[in-house]
Amino acid sequence: MIMTICYLKLDYMVSFDFDGTLGQYPSVQAYAKELVQRGLDVWIVTRRYDSIERYTPEFNFRYSITNLEEEHKYLFEVAKECGIVNIKFMNMDDKWKFFKNSNFIWHLDDDYVEIKDINRYTKTIGISVVNNWKNKCEKLLK
């Protein structure tokens, strides 16, 4: 009898920003899906509000949001396609506060201020989606 043992890496927690990162780049979506298939605990951590009712008309105008329901729906569609079940809505609060007492290895984001604060105040490594991001992510997983 041959027995195969599969070790899941659920203690390897990683996360992706949505707007400007996971929601924008198909290559990031493919990588997130790959990580889920490899057994990592993959999250979306976004500054978005957890409910569309919390957005004000002024906020929508400022950020050129024309169809809030479709944008919110798109987040859940991408999460489902990638196999991501954990989504943390920060309700416009700083992401570093979520990572401060966590075991996340890294967080991929497009916002320099978020990355800087995550690196300054937490053990989680903030990585920019702008440059050589996949190699940096993989290096930290080894």
Residues 68 and 52 sit within 8 Å (Cβ to Cβ)? yes
The overall average pLDDT reported for the chain is 90
Give the model's pLDDT for residue 80. 98
Is residue 14 within 8 A of residue 137, CB to CB? The reply is yes
Q: Do the strands 104-109 and 86-89 form a parallel or antiparallel pair, or are they unpaired? A: unpaired
Q: Consecutive sets of 10 residues in the chain, 142 residues long: mean pLDDT of each? A: 44 93 98 96 95 79 77 94 97 96 96 98 98 96 90
pLDDT of residue 4: 40
Which CATH number is associated with domain 15-141? 3.40.50
Q: List helix spans (H) across the chain.
A: 26-37, 57-62, 68-82, 96-99, 112-121, 133-141
15-32 pLDDT per residue, tens: 999 999 999 999 999 999
